[in-house]
Structure 1
Amino acid sequence: MKLIAIRHTSVELEPGICYGQSDVALARTFQKEREEVALRLNGFRFDKIYSSPLLRCKLLAEFIFDPATVFYDDRLRELDFGEWELKSWNAIYNDPLGKVWMDNYQNLPTLNGESYPQMVERVSAFFNEVKLEENNTVAIVAHAGVIRILKSIIEKCSIEDLFNTFKPEYGSVTEFEI
Structure 2
Amino acid sequence: MAIYLVRHTTPLIEKGICYGQSQIDVTASFEEEAKQIQAALPEGIEQVYSSPLIRCHKLASYLFPQHAINLEPDLMELHCGEWEGLHWDAIPSEVIDPWMKDFVNVCIPGGESYVQMHGRVTQCFTRIIEGPKPVAIVTHGGVIRSILAHITKTPLVDSFGAFKIHYGCVMQLQVTPAGFHFEELHNITTEKEQHKPSNFKR
CA offset digits 1:65-103 (Å, max 9, x no partner):
0264211100000000001001111112x3312121122
Partner letter of residue 143 of structure 2? V
Normalising by structure 1, we get a TM-score of 0.92
Contact 2:3 2:129 in 1 (8 A): no
Contact 2:11 2:27 in 1 (8 A): yes
Q: Distance in 1 between matches of 2:66 and 2:8?
A: 16
SS at match of 1:177: strand
- Structure whose residues are more often helix by fraction: 1
Alignment of 1:158-177 (within 5 A): 158-177=155-174
SS at match of 2:6: strand
Q: Distance in 2 between matches of 1:67 and 1:141?
A: 15
CA offset digits 1:122-152 (Å, max 9, x no partner):
111101212322x231100000010011101
Alignment of 1:73-92 (within 5 A): 73-92=72-91
Q: Distance in 1 between matches of 2:133 and 2:58?
A: 24
Partner letter of residue 117 of structure 2? M
Instruction: Please say if 1:140 is aligned against 2:145.
Output: no
My pick for the range that moved more, 145-154 or 63-72, is 63-72
Higher relative contact order (CA 8 A, sep 6+): 1
SS at match of 2:137: strand
Partner letter of residue 148 of structure 2? K
Alignment partner of 2:149 out of 143, 152, 174: 152
Q: Taking every aligned residue pair, what percent have the same amino acid on both sides?
A: 37
Q: Distance in 2 between matches of 1:57 and 1:11?
A: 10
Q: Distance in 2 between matches of 1:80 and 1:67?
A: 31
Unpaired segments ≥5 residues, structure 1: none
Contact 1:154 1:176 in 2 (8 A): no
Normalising by structure 2, we get a TM-score of 0.82
Q: Distance in 1 between matches of 2:43 and 2:155?
A: 29
Contact 2:48 2:67 in 1 (8 A): no
Alignment partner of 1:110 out of 98, 108, 111: 108
| Matched residue count | 175
Q: CA RMSD in A?
A: 1.4
